[in-house]
Every structure is written in C-alpha cells, then in structure tokens.
Amino acid sequence: MPESTTAVVAIIMGSDSDWPKIKPAAAALEEFGVPYEVRVMSAHRTPALVQQYATMAAARGLKVLLAAAGGAAHLAGVIAAHTTLPVIGIPVATELAGGLDSLLSMVQMPGDVPVATVAVGGGGPRNAGLFAVEILALSDPTLQERLKEFKHRLVEKVAAKDAALQAQIGK
C-alpha cells in the first residue's frame, strides 16, 4: 500500500521466508482497499520488539493484527498477550509436520488469550485477510457494502460454474 495511507491492518511474520505463503492475505486486503503494513519479527529471537510492537499497535491506528509463523508458532499468542486488538493467526506449513505443529501452537492457546486461527496453506492466508476486512466492516459501511458485493459475485461465480457443468453433461 502507499506509504501515505495509514495502515489499519498489520501482517507480521516470524521470517521473511514466510512472505510468499502469506501474500494472499495482503492481496485480499488490497482487493478491498484496506491499508496495511508488513513486518518481520520473531517471538523467540526478538521478543522485546514483538512486545513493544503489540503494545503500541492500537495507539498507532492499527485495528487488526495478522500473525504468521511456522513450527512452534508462538508469534500470534505473544502478540495477543500484549494487545487488546483482534489477532488472527496464520499457521505456516513446515517440513516436519506439514503445518500441523504450527496450527496446534495457535489453536491451543490458554484461556483469556484469544487468537482466531485460519487454515494452514490453501485458503488460510486469504481467509485471514478477508476476516480482517469483515472485522473492519463492523464499523465501516463502505466496507460492508463491498463485502456484500463480494459475496454476491461468489454466488454468481458458482452459479456460472454449475450452469457450465450442466451444459457439459447435457442436463
């Protein structure tokens, strides 16, 4: 997003190598015109930075935080422990367990430290971006309208695919 636009969503990842897998989240935000920033910080290697970032996020105007990590995947939980903003965890696939380790690290949060978590790979990162848009739309009528139009286009797309299949099989 342009630097002149104040970010309202942050995409934070534990390693820059996660970016290619997380880009669909950014694409979803761009599709709806939601300004965002992207950062790399580690719950294990830079814990003080993560704490400071999470603590100051709301004061900086951020409204939703997306946290992507693989393996031990503590980034989302550490961020959630230091902010009142909604945190959406994006588990990143690993060679060891295909991302199951990352997923379990995020969904097995203790009580009182919520992290909403999306699927590993596939539609997971995009859904994280879309979920952030839905959260923002709660207080933004323009985004609400864009989401309604988006959902309508999904219905039209599926109906067109169904019609094409019916024509193909002769029904």
Q: Is the pLDDT of residue 1 over 90?
A: no
Exposed / middle / buried, residue 147 (Cβ in 10 Å: 0-12, 13-18, 19+):
middle
Q: Is the pLDDT of residue 3 over 60?
A: no
Could you tell me how many residues make up the chain? 171
CB contact at 8 A, 27 and 1: no
CA distances from 4 to 23, 62, 71 (A): 21, 15, 35
Q: Say how far apart CA 64 and CA 133 lie, in whole Å.
A: 9
Non-local CB neighbours of 135 within 8 Å, separated by 6+ positions: 63, 64, 86
Q: Is the pLDDT of residue 130 over 80?
A: yes
Per-residue model confidence as pLDDT tens digits over 76-129: 999 999 999 999 999 999 888 889 999 999 999 999 999 999 999 999 999 999
Q: Say how far apart CA 27 and CA 130 lie, in whole Å.
A: 10
Q: Say how far apart CA 88 and CA 67 lie, in whole Å.
A: 6
Per-residue model confidence as pLDDT tens digits over 40-76: 999 999 999 999 999 999 999 999 999 999 988 999 9
Closest by CA to 129, choosing from 57, 34, 29, is: 29
